[in-house]
Amino acid sequence: MKTFIKFTKISALGNDFILINDINNTIKKHLNSSVIYNLCSFHTGIGADGLITVSPDNEYDFRMFYFNSDGNEAMMCGNGARSAAYFAYLEHISLVSGRFRASDGLHQFTISDSVINVSLNVVDGHSIIDEEIDNKKVYFINTGVPHGILFVEDIKNIEVDIIGKKLRDYRGFDKKGANINFVQIIDRHNILIRTFEKGIEGETLSCGTGSTAAAIVSHYKSFTNPPINAINKSNEILKIDFKYVNNDVKDVTLEGNVKVTFKGIFDLYEY
């Protein structure tokens, strides 16, 4: 038996995803963690940092489901959200602006050519927690998913995978651990960032929620002022804007380019 499924591969500043149109709600139920893991494998599958289904929603334009490359569902992915909004527009599911639901709540989006702007939800934006771990000061915040932030002076020579693996399992902030971000301040509106993502278990070229977390914490530390440009490992820019009112974060948006890299069809039962 063969079940062919169409997909679109989208890159969001090097953070790449498999997008599937499931607006008729017929595909996601067949995508178990093993299938997703195999599809995301760069050597034996399509290859991606994650997989996204654009599914139906009773109130909003669509429902986004996001899965890391290990096959497990995650609450949110900032670059994935931007990719989902663009994909929904290309598939005539939504217009150039609208709203969608993800596991962490409601998001708004606008599209201008290939520049996608999405709103993000910050959990307890006033609750930035700092911890001393392995003689390193780490700041934790939840921007849809939990992130740890370390400020460094020479980001090019940081051993991201080695240090990231040691810190990602810290349970003091979230019982499932956290993504780990290394941040170097350039000036009041620009930062460099490299991210170790749990669920991918390595460094990614870009991370939307990580860049957002870094921007917010850098402002909290009085290093920067919004809007803030986060220059990722891909050497491309994510623009993060927000308001910081009474020690709380409001109106957070994430903006940057996306592009379709290719489209194809896979047989579900080959994975």
**Is 68 marked as a binding-site residue?**
yes
- Tell me, what amino acid is at 65? F
Distance CA 30, CA 49 (A): 20
72 is in an annotated binding site: no
Determine if residue 204 is labeled as part of a ligand binding site. no
3-state helix, strand, coil in the chain (%, to 5): 20, 45, 35
Q: H helices of 23-77, where?
A: 33-40
Residues paired with 253 in a beta bridge? 119, 241
Nearest partner of 215 among 204, 202, 224, 206, judged by Cα: 224
Structure tokens at 235: 């050497």
What residues contact 165, with CB distance under 8 A and at least 6 apart?
Answer: 196, 201
User: Do the annotations mark residue 257 as ligand-binding?
Assistant: no
Whether 207 sits among the annotated catalytic residues: the reply is yes
- Would residue 40 show up in a list of annotated catalytic residues for this protein? no
> Which residue in 5, 54, 88, 207 is the catalytic one?
207
The annotation status of 247 as a binding-site residue, yes or no, is no
Please check if 105 is assigned to a binding site: no
**Known binder of ligand: residue 209?**
yes
Rounded CA-CA distance 267/170 in Å is 39
Residue 45 tokens, joined: 């599958």
How far is Cα 231 from Cα 54, in angstroms, rounded to an integer?
28
- The residue from 40, 77, 145, 150 that is catalytic is 77
Tell me the catalytic residues: 77, 207
Q: Could you tell me which residues are annotated as the binding site? A: 15, 68, 78-79, 179, 208-209
Please state the residue numbers annotated as binding site for substrate.
Answer: 15, 68, 78-79, 179, 208-209
